Amino acid sequence: MHEYYRKNKAKFKKSMNGLLKPVAKELEQYSKKSYPEIFEEIWQHYSDHMLENFPYIGGDAVSGTRNLTGAYCFVSMGEVLKNYGVSLEETGHLMVLAYERRFSKMPGMVKTIMHKSFTNIKSLNKKYQKKDAQNAANAAKNPGSFETKTMIPPEEGYDFSYHNLVCPLSNFARAHGYEEYMPYLCNLDYVMFGVFGVPLYREHTCFEDGDYCDFKLKINAEPMSYWPPVFTQGKGYK
């Protein structure tokens, strides 16, 4: 285990609780155990199989670390729930509920601010170009971390687009046998953007296509439904 993860285990456990508490009732129903009991099982799996093997991609200095450590809380949840007969699709639905309930509890003013931040194209391009530079500098020091590219002008038919060129979530899934979870983890992007009323579209993923993940916004469109998962809807989006 990298020293960064060892030193921050208490923080990661607290973060996991924040992600899973919104679906505590469902976890209890599936496992027939109290939430503290099933949570400890999930945490033990996460500690032994995720924290033990995560690559160091920049720690607290980069937002991508939270993406990696947060997403795999759900993978550990799924791995433990398999022992209780829970299907991958049911786990995928719990992921959606956890995200949906968490973001939905945000004050209306915060949601409004988030919506405006994702629909101000000039500001968004400036913000993500800065993020591109930060990610490139970090990747030079920590190979395998997130690398991104803001597309200017955006791809045809969209108001804003950027690409993830390197995805540590996908790389970790391939290295450790968690490939089946990746489409469901990618679907969570639609949940987050959807809760804020921002229409996201994606036709490529690093995991499935091996080239990049595209994030494309149409400002005046309606957000896509995210359940059933976008990748199952037959519309060509992932």
207-214: long-range contacts, CB 8 A cutoff, minimum separation 24: 207/167, 207/169, 207/170, 207/173, 207/174, 207/179, 207/182, 207/183, 208/182, 208/183, 208/238, 212/149, 212/163, 212/164, 212/165, 213/163, 213/164, 213/167, 213/186, 214/155, 214/161, 214/162, 214/163, 214/164
- Of the candidates 196, 222, 66, the one whose C-alpha atom is nearest the C-alpha of residue 124 is 196
Using a 10 angstrom Cβ sphere, with 0-12 exposed, 13-18 middle and 19 or more buried, the burial of residue 87 is: exposed
Q: Do residues 133 and 152 lie in contact, with contact meaning Cβ atoms separated by under 8 Å?
A: no
Q: In 3D, which of 192, 179, 29, 173 has the Cα closest to residue 98?
A: 192
List the chain pLDDT tens, one digit each, 238 residues. Answer: 999 999 999 999 999 999 999 999 999 999 999 999 999 999 999 999 999 999 999 999 998 999 999 999 999 999 999 999 999 999 999 999 999 999 988 999 999 999 999 999 999 999 999 999 999 999 999 999 999 999 999 999 999 999 999 999 999 999 999 999 999 999 999 999 999 999 999 999 999 998 999 999 999 899 999 999 999 999 999 9
Q: Which amino acid is at 35?
A: Y
The predicted model scores a pTM of 0.97
Rounded distance between C-alpha atoms, residue 198 and residue 12, angstroms: 29
